[in-house]
Structures are given as structure tokens and as C-alpha cells.
A = this chain, B = another copy of it.
């Protein structure tokens, strides 16, 4: 896909060649293949292609793609003057605001890898991710100055006042250049830093475009956090497609509904809870969305049928999608016209992607969902850097599902009993590990409980010899976990359900919940 570049390299057939600096390994790979592939620098290329087009609208700000390049260039100069050299890894912690945008564009321009920290994490969680990532600097919005105490912290206000040093940006970006890193917890409960490369982002955007279409005049409403792949992928699509973003720092049902009715945006990404609020607002006003609005992309777990019907009545085409941090957004997407015929499905894998069910020989056979495609992460950083992301060429998602005879994916059970609460992933193992730090708790099991507002909320089952209240547990956990991961209900039990090899059976916990 990306540009070819010739590399002159002679293999010196002697042990002297070992003295070569292996950090220059792109050259070695190029040597192996004969040619290397490069993408354009999408900030400068986009500024050259469509300089006057609106790239992003945020509050009173309206930046063209030329503005984005100017902002990025200036920020890259400031990054350098605070000691961040091109190609280095930084971490960033901020709510959605103008400075965060500047840092995102600036880091990309400067060739830095960005570790996106979730603003809802506890201090302990932040500390872990920052240490694991080995970032040279942590760029922190001033409002979060107290959340992270480290010598590596550089506040946005410091950055803002920094002098602008001279920098030049690379004309081309290697496909395996890590653009972004996001932490996600797996079965073990230990967060792993997932690399998202230029190729991951580009091919994800391409496969999406060849499914839902793209128009130079599209505007994507983004109210997702920018530190999530759901939000950051909108930034990447904007640069790749040359389309606008209408960015919101917080979900604002009234203003967003205004935009949908006025047709000032064409696309929007939502999770179930957001959709419900928009529908309520539209119903309250007794209005339809504009015919200019094209697609609502719904991720983070299934959308209830009732919402789909209400959305249809309001003229909203909903595309349900299945994606994850490791796949830089969508892997499969269900077309609006299939929503009723394929209730509960997450659609078919997009043009460049493949899905198969581990061990399945026929449609409807259930097994672990495996994913392949150029959008799949090449791997992790930090402690998990040596753990391959794929086995035998496939990403093992941990999710369980099946494909029907037409190749539509149905997710039966989320990975590691994943709980999705308001679009955020909560891994039971991670919550259990935190609960077990409590000196009086002997055993813990966590599962999800259906919740009208959030889809699911975490519930704890604990074994203890003393009296522990939900409130005291919650208070204890607030030092260790982001608020959305803290159980909303607690049950004290004599014993946890375990199999013969003493493995916790979280599905049994769910049955207990249902029987209560």
C-alpha cells in the first residue's frame, strides 16, 4: 500500500557486519525485501492537498488542515525545546481540550509515539502504565497535575510557554511506525500497551471507507475520548480522508441533537448509552435527524433492539461494529439494512479483514473469535513486548462467537468475561486483583450485571471472615481503580465457584446473579 522507497544496502558477509546498529533495522528489513514501503506524512500531505478545508471544529476553534500543520509544526518545536527528540515515546494525560489536540498533532508531526493515558484511571493505574511504557516525558494537562507526580511530567502550561525550536518533519512514515499506544487488560488483568502503527490506522480507515463510503464533505461528530481508539481513530480518518471533525469535550445531548437535526455533521460514533440519550432528546423535541446525516457507528457492545427501532423512526442509520484496541477500531460492521434481519450480529469482516472461529468446521459452531488483517497490532510494549500479539497468524481475541452461513459474526461471550460499562472495558481479573489487596478479603470474583443506563456494571462476590460494607470496599478500591471499574454491588459468599483446577468460574457467578 504505502510508497516504495529504494534503499541501497550492501550485505557485508563478515562478522563486522554485526557492528551495525540494529536500531536502524528498517534498513535491514528493506534489505530483506529489496524495497521498503512508506506512507506519506499525512499531516503535511493533507495540508498540501486540501489546505483550506476544515479539519476540526471545537468550541470557538475552527482549524483548517493548513492550521493543523502549523499547530503541529509549532508544537513539535516546543516538544523539542523541552527535551523530546523526534521518534521518542511520550505519554499524555488530558481531557479533550485544545492543548490535547495540539499535543496529538505535534507528536505525530515530530514522529513521537504517544501513550494515551485514560483520564479516569486511578493514580496507581497511571503509575503502572507510565512506568511500563518507559516514556521519556509525560505531558499532562494542568487540571490533572495532582494525579501524576513524577520528574518526567511536563505540564501543558510549561509546554505552552516553551520556545519553539527548529524542527523538520519526515516526508514519509514507515508502515510499522507506532503512532499510538493504548493500554488494555486481558485475561491476566495486567494492562498491556498495544501498539497501533501507521499501517494499522491506514488500513482500518481504508476498509471502513470501502464499506460505508467517504465523501470529502463529510464531518464526523466526536464525543468519544481521544485517548480511546474510538476517538483517536476519528482523528486519523480525518487526516487520511480529508474530512472534518466536530469535537466535543463532553457528551452534550442537546447540542449534539441540534447538529443531527441541522445536518451539520454526517457521521457519529456512539455507545449504547449515548444513543439512548440522543433518541430521548429527539423524541422529546418530536424531530427527525437531517437527511444529510448519514451514519451512526455503534460500538462497545450490542445495541438493544428497542433502540434500533427508535433510531429507525428518527431516520438514523445505525451500523453496529465489533472492534477493539488491538484492531485500531472496526473489524466487522453490520449494515443498517441488515440490522433487523441479523439481530444481535456484529456484521461481516470489512474488505481487508478476516475473521474465523477457532476450531469451527461449519457455520454456527461456537469458538474463540480469531482476527487477521493489516489492522491488527504487531504487538505490545513494556513487560509484554516479547509476547506476540498473534499465534499462527491470528489474533486470539478471547471473545467467543460464531459465524452464520452468510459469514455474519455473532459475539456470544466477551473475552475474559469482559464487562462493558458505558463503552469502557472492565476486565474482571483486574478488579479481582485490586479487591484481593484488601487485607480482610480472602477471595473475590467479579462479573457484569445488566444495567439500564450503562449496559453493564461490575458486581463483586467476596469471601471474608469479617464484616465489610460495599461502601468501605468502594472507598478502598478508589485508590487502585478507575471509578467505572469499581463494583456497584457486592455479595458476601462462603465460597467461590471453581473448577477442578481451582480456576474461578465467572459464568457461575452470573448464574448466581440471575437466581437472586
CA distance A173 to B3 in the complex (A): 19
Complex interface: chain B residues within 8 A of A209 (CB): 209-210, 214
The count of chain A contact residues (Cβ–Cβ below 8 Å) is: 70
Task: List chain A positions with a Cβ less than 8 A from chain B.
Answer: 1-6, 13-15, 17-18, 21-33, 35, 37, 39-40, 42, 45-46, 48-49, 174-176, 199, 202-203, 206, 209-217, 240-242, 348, 350-354, 372-374, 376, 378-379, 386, 390, 392-393, 406-407
Which residues from chain B contact A175 at a C-beta distance below 8 Å? 1
CB distance from A49 to the nearest CB of B (A): 6
With A26-B27, A176-B26 as contacts: A374 and B4 at CB distance below 8 Å = yes
Interchain CB contact (< 8 A) of A6 among B21, B353, B393 = B393
Closest 6 CB pairs of A and B: A1-B1, A25-B25, A213-B215, A6-B393, A27-B29, A25-B28
Q: Nearest Cβ distance between residue A232 and chain B, in whole angstroms? A: 19
A212→B216 CA distance, assembly (Å): 7
- Contact between chains at B210 and A2 (CB < 8 Å): no
Kindly list 15 other residue pairs between chains A and B, CB separation below 8 angstroms, not including A1-B1, A27-B29.
A2-B352, A2-B374, A5-B393, A6-B393, A17-B18, A18-B21, A25-B27, A28-B28, A31-B33, A40-B352, A46-B351, A49-B348, A206-B206, A210-B214, A240-B351
Q: Which chain B positions have C-beta within 8 A of A350?
A: 49
Partner of A3, one of B33, B49, B176, B372: B372
Inter-subunit contact A378/B215 (CB<8 Å): no
Q: Identify whether the interface residues of A are mostly helix, strand, loop, or mixed.
A: mixed
Give chain B nearest CB distance to A13 CB in angstroms.
6
**What residues on B are CB-neighbors of A1 within 8 Å?**
1-2, 175, 199, 202-203, 206, 352, 374
Contact of A15 among B14, B25, B379, B390 (CB under 8 A): B14
Report the separation of the CA atoms of residues A390 and B174 in the bound assembly, to the nearest whole angstrom.
Answer: 21
> Is there contact, CB below 8 Å, between A379 and B3?
no
- In the bound complex, residues from chain B placing their C-beta under 8 Å from that of A26 are 25, 27, 176, 378-379
Across the interface, do A22 and B23 meet the contact criterion of CB distance under 8 Å?
no
**Closest approach, in angstroms, between the C-beta of A209 and any C-beta of chain B?**
6
**Chain B residue contacts of A49, Cβ below 8 A:** 211, 348, 350-351
